[in-house]
Amino acid sequence: MRSVLVLNAKGGCGKTTLATNLAGYHASKGKRVVLADFDPQGCSMDWLAARPADRPGIEGVAVWRDGLRVPRDTDWLIMDSPAATHGRALADLVRRADSVLMPLLPSPIDIRAANHFIGELNAVRKLVNGGVRLATVANRVREQSLAAAGLEEYLQEFRLPSGKPFPFLAGLRASQNYISAAERGLSIFEFAPARTLPDREQWLRILRWLSRSARANMRQKPD
């Protein structure tokens, strides 16, 4: 099983969007997917409730209410987290993950805030799960906004205090496709390909990195 935690201390940056699209992607590929919602707002569970019955099933777990038990034959555990997760709650989440994806809004303020959070995340990671892999994804990117603000280079150079890279995987454009997918319990991968081609292309590196990371984790030693 691979487990992915979608995490950022900030609300509204795209955690639920990344989690639900990943869940829909792997379900549409025939994988057994558990979508675990740690956020009492339950947005991932609302998304699942809207999912049409004729689409590949995803098992939802409202963790804040029911706790987390994962069936043994699960292929992908996708964990959606609440904003402002710190301290013990953060440690509990990171402990369960083999990869952490951190969505960021492409503004200098958001990226600076994320940088502080990365310090905290790194301290937790060392305590509970030195092998976990981390990466960022810029979300709701408007044409040229990353390049124009010089944010892309800044993101490329993210490092943990140990010097380990914190890869920047992709910028996802701001697109109505994410909004209509969210309303209908779908992922963008379940729309007609012509409509979502630019979005799918932006996901390729994310999907590849996540598939690699389980194997890489086995080789990686904690620092």
Ligand X SMILES: Nc1ncnc2c1ncn2[C@@H]1O[C@H](COP(=O)(O)OP(=O)(O)O)[C@@H](O)[C@H]1O
Closest CA to 207 of 99, 131, 111: 99
| Residue 60 tokens, joined | 């939802």
Please give the Cα distance from 86 to 8 (Å, whole number): 10
Closest CA to 80 of 27, 11, 135: 11
74 burial via Cβ count (<10 Å: 0-12, 13-18, 19+): middle
Q: Whole-number minimum distance, CB 20 to ligand X, in Å?
A: 8
Please give the Cα distance from 205 to 202 (Å, whole number).
7
Tokens of 154: 């800044």
CB of 163 to ligand X, least distance (A): 29
Binding span for ligand X by CB under 6 A among 9-17, 24-32, 144-152, 212-220: 9-17
The residue within the footprint of ligand X, chosen from 1, 12, 62, 74 (CB under 6 A), is 12
Number of amino acids touching Mg ion (CB under 5 A): 3
* Region of 6-14, 118-126, 155-163, 212-220 interacting with ligand X (CB under 6 A): 6-14
Among 16, 85, 139, 145, binds Mg ion (CB under 5 A): 16
Site for ligand X (CB under 6 A): which residue of 49, 84, 179, 197?
A: 179
68 binds ligand X (CB under 6 A): no
Q: Which stretch binds ligand X (CB under 6 A): 58-66, 112-120, 147-155, 168-176?
A: 168-176
Q: Which of 1, 43, 68, 174 binds Mg ion (CB under 5 A)?
A: 43
Count the site residues for ligand X by CB under 6 A: 16
Residue choice 3, 4, 16, 210 for contact with ligand X (CB under 6 A) = 16
Task: Give the DSSP per-residue string, 39-77.
Answer: -TT-HHHHHHHTS-TTSPP-EEEEHHHH-----TT-SEE
CB 220 to ligand X: min, Å: 27
Applying CB under 6 A, among 5, 7, 13, 23 the residue interacting with ligand X is 13
Residue with tokens 């992922």: 187
Q: Say which amino acid occupies 109.
A: I
Angle CA 35–36–38, to nearest 5: 145
Chain contacts with Mg ion (rule: CB under 5 A): 15-16, 43
Chain contacts with ligand X (rule: CB under 6 A): 11-17, 43, 139-140, 172, 174-175, 178-179, 182
